[in-house]
Structure formats: C-alpha cells, structure tokens
A and B are shown apart, each in its own frame.
Chain A
C-alpha cells in the first residue's frame, strides 16, 4: 500500500513536466524515423526493437529522464519535505525507481505498438508472431533495468548533474567502443544484445539489476539530507 501511495505521488509530481511528454514523443519519433524497407525486412527481422531505439535513444533517454526526475527534487529542495513524511525511505526509493521503470516501459510499448502497426501497413512478408514480437520487446526492456537502477541511484546520490551524466555518457560511449570485442562488458547495449543471446545476457542483467538496486537502496536509506 505504501509503495502504491509513493508511486501515485510520483506520478502527481511529474504532472506538467517534460518527462512524460519526452517518454511519449521520442518513441513515436523513433518508430517514424526507422520505417523499414519491405524488400530488406520481413517479420522475422523486424520483430526486435529498432536499432535507433536500443542503441541510441534508450541509454541516453534513461539518463536524461532519471536526471530530470531527481533534479526536480534537488532543485526544489524537496528531498527533505518528502523524507520527513511517514513513508519509509526504502519504500519511497522503490516507488521512485518504479516510476522511472514505468516511464521507460511506456516508451517500449509505444515503440512495440508502432513497429507492429508500421509492419502491417507496409506489408512485411513472413509470419507475424505476436508472442515472439512481444517477447523480444519485454526481453530488451528487462535488459535495460540495470541502467534505470544505476541512473536513479546516481540521480538521488549526487545533487549535481555531472556525476550521473559522466557515468551515463561514459558508459554508453565505452560500451559502443568495446561492444564487438567484449560484448559482455557493454552494459549500455545489453537491450540490443540480449535478443541474440537471451540466456547469458538475462543472467548478467539479472545480476546487475540486483546489484545496482541494492546499492541504490543502501545508499539512499543511509544518505544525509541537507
């Protein structure tokens, strides 16, 4: 119940901010700018999240959205007002994280539905398997959770934007550089890679998600609010 209250408060707080609009408009933009050619693609090759989404928009978007979300608290001095309310810090942290997860999930759903519609409009060849299509998107979403947890933690831990930006951008660039030779170290590109090697990457992503969420929890509950 407390988690639901916190989650609901998070949505109220985000009212009339650009967070929600970004989460809606950018995925639509991603779908519209990557309409495939029916000659080169069929349903088998188009049942994955498009490359511009998983490689570029998603990692950068997670960083920007989580920063915007945490900066709303920092800039308005609202951490203290929030954390003197009768809701445990761990529950609030979970609600805050869940809110970011839901925003990213909305983005994924828009891309997924957009790609489904686009594929049908341009008449892709081959068999369309809804379950496989949805499965690929959910798997990719699962592989970005550790990025959300990491950025939420950094956003809450540091009052400035430098550290979360440096880690987010640095990690993304580094992942791009080493992705061919050391794919398992390309954490920012797991949402793309997991579809090709689901078992291995699922295990890695699960481990990383647990680790980043635990560190975030621990750090947030022990943090001094000035």
Chain B
C-alpha cells in the first residue's frame, strides 16, 4: 500500500491562455495534516477541484491511494470526504435530511448521521432548516457531510472562511482532533497562522505553482505572526516580557513577539498585573507574499 495518499503529477489546468495551476506535484503522506497555503486566486481551489474530479485536467495526473483517479473514480471517492469552498447544503432541508441525502448517494447507513452530528456538535439543530443556520453552523454541517462514511482522506477547502474568531477556533479544534481518529487531511487556507496551528506538512502555491512543500516546522521558522505592542514604559515592558517569552524584539519603537491571537489576552493580563500602561496591541499576520519572495530567492539561489 502506498504511503502517499495524494500524489499529483505535473497537474496543470489552463483556461485559454491563463494557466491556473502549473505542473503541480503535490505529495500528501498518510496520516498527515497537509496545509495547502496560498493567497486568494493562487490556484488552491482549482487544484482541489481537479483532485476531486470536479473539473477537467488540461495535463498531468492525479493519483489517490496509489491509484489513478479517472479509472477508479467511484472506488476512490468512497474513501474521501470533501468540503469544497463555500459550505453548501439544501437550504429547505434540515441538517439531518441533508446528511441523509449524502448517505443515500454514498450508500452508507443513515445511522451514521447521528454520529457525525455529534462530532461537529450540531445534534441540537439537526431538525432545523439549514436556511436558519449561521455561517459557522453551515461550515460545521459541511464538515459533517465530509465525515460521513468515515473517509480516510478529508479534503477541506478554506474551512474557516468567513467565520468569526470563535467559529475559527471551533473548526480548528475540530480539525485538530480528527487525525487521532485515523484521517489524512488536506486543508487549504490563505492564512499562514491558520495552517500553522493545525498542519504537520505544508504546500505553498503561488500563481499556480507549488513553491514549497515539506514539513510545517521548516516554514514556520521563515515567518511567524507577530504581536505588536506599545507601552508607556517600553524598557520595563521588554524586561518583563523577556522573562516570559523566548523571543521579544524591539523594532520601530514597537515590541514584537511571535505569537497568535490567543496570546494577546495573556500578554495584556501580564502587563496589567504589573501595572504597565498599554498604548496599543495588535496581531500582524505573517505576510505570505514576503515568504513567497523569500522562497523564490532561496529556490533560485539553490539552483
């Protein structure tokens, strides 16, 4: 059995003269959470749609579970659960009926519906019409649909798109909890900080080309989200923060600490407890563009 769950070989999609995905060679190993990173319009969704057979391939090949997709489509799709871009469901049906619809198409017992509703915490709203669902609930329903049939591979395209911070955290926690249940996950996002927190491996796509592919750890060393902070007494604040955080920098009269939004609360509490006056604090996401440029430069230098 192949250890590569997804393998694309020179996968290319052209729309007229425009190349949306160019010679993509993606490799997703069994049991990994593969973060597929790229800015909007980079080619993530096009690549995912080709992997799932929703759109046609101009050239190249998709291999899933070691088998070519086209001749083994149905057999392969039985092992995949997918959420593609916007969460979709029939508005006039309840969440439960939407899941029953998918059960019929997948030929799986409807008893699984309750199980997946429980996983995504939607049991309480199972009989409610989807049109009355919030965006977060729709997103969770989309994940529930993807989980039906206990697929080995989950493909989640921008699963946190449009969600508020608590919704993002919920979905993130949900995804993080899944690999322990034996899933391989391909999750796409345009947010580095998002992928950073859940992925074990990462692939970065820019203008249709895969610039980098490998372990998450390597890319996180290149660029981190930074908490920017201004206090009345900067030197005292730096001194205090250095005790608690391994990396604290002072740049352009601003204290910078690599971190996530969860750490902002922690820092504020620490400073207030020590009678420091905060003038401003915010999180600046790592700039993917700069990482891309760095990657391109590294690639050029290496070759």
Q: A5-B107, A12-B93 are in contact. List 19 more A-B contacts (CB 8 A).
A: A9-B101, A9-B104, A13-B101, A15-B97, A16-B92, A16-B93, A72-B90, A72-B92, A76-B89, A76-B90, A77-B85, A78-B88, A78-B89, A80-B54, A80-B84, A86-B73, A87-B74, A87-B105, A224-B49
Whether A82 pairs with B54 at a CB distance below 8 angstroms is no
Kindly list chain A residues whose C-beta atoms are within 8 Å of the C-beta of B90: 13, 72, 76, 78
Other-chain residue from B56, B77, B92, B107 in contact with A84 (beta carbon distance below 8 A): B77
The answer to whether residues A17 and B104 also contact, given A77-B86, A87-B74 and a CB cut-off of 8 A, is: no
With both beta carbons as reference points, the residue of chain A lying nearest to B73 in the complex is identified as A88
Report yes or no: A85 in contact with B102, Cβ–Cβ below 8 A: yes
Residue B172 lies at the interface, judged by CB distance under 8 Å to chain A: no
CB distance from B139 to the nearest CB of A (A): 13
Interface pair B105/A9, CB less than 8 Å apart = yes
**B residues near A83, Cβ cutoff 8 Å:** 53-54
Known A-B contacts A80-B54, A84-B80, A225-B54; A5 and B88 likewise in contact (beta carbons under 8 Å): no
Q: Assess the B89–A84 pair: CB atoms within 8 A.
A: no
Closest A residue, CB atoms, query B81: A84
**A13, A82, A86, A226: which has the most chain B beta carbons within 10 Å?**
A86
Say yes or no: is B52 at the interface (Cβ < 8 Å to chain A).
yes
Whether A84 lies near B74 (C-beta < 8 A) is no
Set B78, B97, B105, B107: member contacting A82, Cβ < 8 A:
B105
Which of B54, B90, B91, B105 is most buried by chain A, counting CB atoms within 10 A of its CB?
B105
Those 6 A-B pairs whose CB atoms lie nearest each other, nearest first: A77-B88, A9-B104, A86-B77, A85-B105, A224-B55, A225-B54
Contact A85 B77 (CB under 8 A): yes
Judge whether B89 and A81 touch: CB under 8 Å: yes
Instruction: Verify A12–B92 contact, CB threshold 8 A.
Output: no
Bound: A19/B91 CA distance, A = 15
A222 to B74, CA, bound (A): 16
Q: Which residues of A are at the interface with B, using a C-beta cutoff of 8 A?
A: 1-2, 5-6, 8-9, 12-13, 15-17, 72, 75-78, 80-88, 92, 222, 224-226
- Provide the bound-state CA to CA distance between A81 and B77, in Å: 12
| Residue B266 lies at the interface, judged by CB distance under 8 Å to chain A | no
- Contact present for B145 and A81 (CB under 8 Å): yes
List, sorted by A's number, 10 A–B pairs whose CB atoms are closer than 8 Å.
A12-B104, A17-B92, A72-B92, A84-B77, A84-B84, A86-B74, A86-B107, A224-B55, A225-B55, A226-B54
From residue B6, how far is it (CB to closest CB) to chain A in Å? 14
Q: Are B105 and A5 in contact, with the CB atoms below 8 A? A: yes
The A-contacting residues of B in range 145-175, CB under 8 angstroms, are: 145
Q: Across the interface, do A81 and B88 meet the contact criterion of CB distance under 8 Å? A: yes
B44 is an interface residue with CB less than 8 A from chain A: no
Q: Is B75 an interface residue (CB 8 A)?
A: yes
Q: Would you give the shortest CB distance from A170 to chain B, in whole angstroms?
A: 30
Which A residue's beta carbon lies closest to that of B145? A81
Q: Could you tell me if B91 and A6 are in contact, using CB atoms closer than 8 angstroms?
A: no
Contact partners of B97 in chain A: CB under 8 A: 12, 15
User: Is residue B222 within 8 Å, beta carbon to beta carbon, of the partner chain?
Assistant: no
Question: What residues on B are CB-neighbors of A5 within 8 Å?
Answer: 104-105, 107
Enumerate chain A residues within 8 angstroms of B88, measured Cβ to Cβ.
Answer: 76-78, 80-81
Kindly report which residue of chain B lies nearest to residue A1, judged by CB atoms. Answer: B107
Is B106 located at the chain interface by the 8 A CB criterion?
yes
Residues of A within 8 A of B92 (CB): 16-17, 72
Known contacts A81-B84, A224-B54; A8 and B89 CB within 8 A of each other: no
Whether a CB of chain A sits under 8 angstroms from the CB of B82 is: yes
CB distance from A190 to the nearest CB of B (A): 34
A82 to B52: give the CA distance in the assembly, Å: 12
Nearest CB on A from B58, distance (A) = 11
Residues of A within 8 A of B49 (CB): 80, 224-226
- In the complex, the answer to whether B73 meets A226 with C-beta atoms within 8 Å is no
B206 at the interface (CB under 8 A from A): no
Cβ of B106 and Cβ of A86 under 8 Å apart?
A: yes
Query: Within the complex, what minimum Cβ distance (angstroms) separates A98 from chain B?
Result: 14
Q: How far is the CB of A204 from chain B (nearest CB, A)?
A: 34
- Judge whether B27 is part of the interface by a CB distance below 8 angstroms: no
Give B83's nearest chain A residue, CB to CB. A81
- Point out the residues of chain A lying under 8 angstroms from B91, CB to CB: 75-76
Asked whether B100 is an interface residue with its Cβ less than 8 Å from the other chain, the reply is yes
CA distance A183 to B88 in the complex (A): 45
